[in-house]
A and B are shown apart, each in its own frame.
Chain A
Amino acid sequence: MLDFVSKFFKLERSKNVAKERLQLVLIHDRNDISPEILNSLKVEMIATIKKYLEIDEAGIEIELDRADRSVALVANIPLKNINRRTRGRSKRV
């Protein structure tokens, strides 16, 4: 009986591991962005942001951050003189 129970739990565990791993793999697969796409995303983002802000293009970092359970698009965009263009306006950026 004990044997049966432990066997049952063991199988159950590997099944759960499989499910968890699959969910993770599929999240990654669905978000699989090739370096090319990432590059054009970067170019377009810069173009858009440049319309409103002055940015340090050389310092831009964009990457997909793969944590254990999720994928995040992380963009690090250093700004230059944020106040110059917005001077005199009441709206905050």
Chain B
Amino acid sequence: MDCRIIVVTSGKGGVGKTTTTANLAASLAKDGHKVAAIDGDVGLRNLDVIMGLENRIVYTLVDVVEGTCRLNQALIKDKRIDNLFLIPTAQSRTKDSVSAEQMLALCAELRKDFDFVLIDSPAGIEAGFHNSAIGADEAIVIVTPEVSAVRDADRIIGLLESMEKAPIRLIINRIKPDMVTRGEMLDVQDVLDILAVDLLGIVPDDESIVTSANKGEPLVLGSTSKAAKAYSNIAKRVAGEEVPIMNLFSDSKGFFSWLFGKKK
């Protein structure tokens, strides 16, 4: 299989890029693909703690691009999931430490060895975003159902389109079904109407995201929560399987049967 390099981005900060990168990478790896997750947010290292690999960092992305170490020295292998690797970023550097050319070269090298490379992009539309996206083939845009996040997502999608990333697909994160039912939150269709982009998946707002981040254990490592199921579905869609989009709203009593498929 050819390697696919995907940038995970959003424009606005705090909408769940890192959580999504960590969980998608873990889910894809669990499904048997060889995955590298790259923390593209130089200077603000986070992906390592979400994945629970912070104690194993010796070399970073900056060391690789500067030639201080070899690529496979910086690839941290996750001992819990086969085929899952992380390239952490440097905490003591700034975003200027990695150039676009260096990122392209790194992506080309990773392409030889992996099925999927997921790049966690920094928030914003500056050089950091540009560099993390430059080596990617496709893009996943994370948005929450909030006006500011949707607006920033539109801007980011425009930039990704001009960088000729394709496909560019959307994950709507932190949906609160009860708020949507009350008409107090934008629903999936509203967001899609505004952004005019393909939907890759939806993730409900879920406590398990916080607890899994607390423990540094990706959700696929055993959580049975709705969010865990959502990420696993999304990973399957990324890999090309056809999985129906979750139904977050079912009967009027307020119990959710989260999957269309469950009702068969």
Does A18 contact B213, Cβ atoms closer than 8 Å? yes
Q: Could you say which residues of chain A place their CB within 8 Å of the CB of B54?
A: 21, 24-25, 28
Tell me whether A15 and B91 are in contact in the complex, defined as CB-CB below 8 angstroms, given that A21-B54, A24-B55, A35-B68 are known contacts. Answer: no
Complex: chain B residue closest to A22, CB-CB:
B49
Q: Which of A1-26 contact B (CB under 8 A)?
A: 10-11, 14-15, 17-18, 21-22, 24-25
Tell me whether A32 and B91 are in contact in the complex, defined as CB-CB below 8 angstroms, given that A14-B211, A21-B54, A21-B216 are known contacts. Answer: yes
Complex: chain A residue closest to B68, CB-CB:
A35
Judge if A66 is at the interface, Cβ distance under 8 Å: yes
Judge if B206 is at the interface, Cβ distance under 8 Å: no
A40 → chain B closest CB, angstroms: 15
Complex: chain B residue closest to A33, CB-CB:
B92
Does A18 contact B55, Cβ atoms closer than 8 Å? no
- In this complex, the interface size class of chain B, counting residues with CB under 8 Å from chain A, is 10 to 19
* A56 CA to B148 CA, complexed, in Å: 62
* A21 CA to B92 CA, complexed, in Å: 19
Q: Could you say which residues of chain A place their CB within 8 Å of the CB of B68?
A: 35
Q: Could you say which residues of chain A place their CB within 8 Å of the CB of B211?
A: 10-11, 14
Judge if A34 is at the interface, Cβ distance under 8 Å: yes
Q: Could you say which residues of chain B place their CB within 8 Å of the CB of A14?
A: 210-211, 214-215
Complex: chain A residue closest to B210, CB-CB:
A14
A11 → chain B closest CB, angstroms: 7
Name A's B-contacting residues (CB within 8 A).
Answer: 10-11, 14-15, 17-18, 21-22, 24-25, 28-29, 32-35, 66, 68
Name B's A-contacting residues (CB within 8 A).
Answer: 45, 49, 54-55, 63, 68, 90-93, 207, 210-211, 213-216
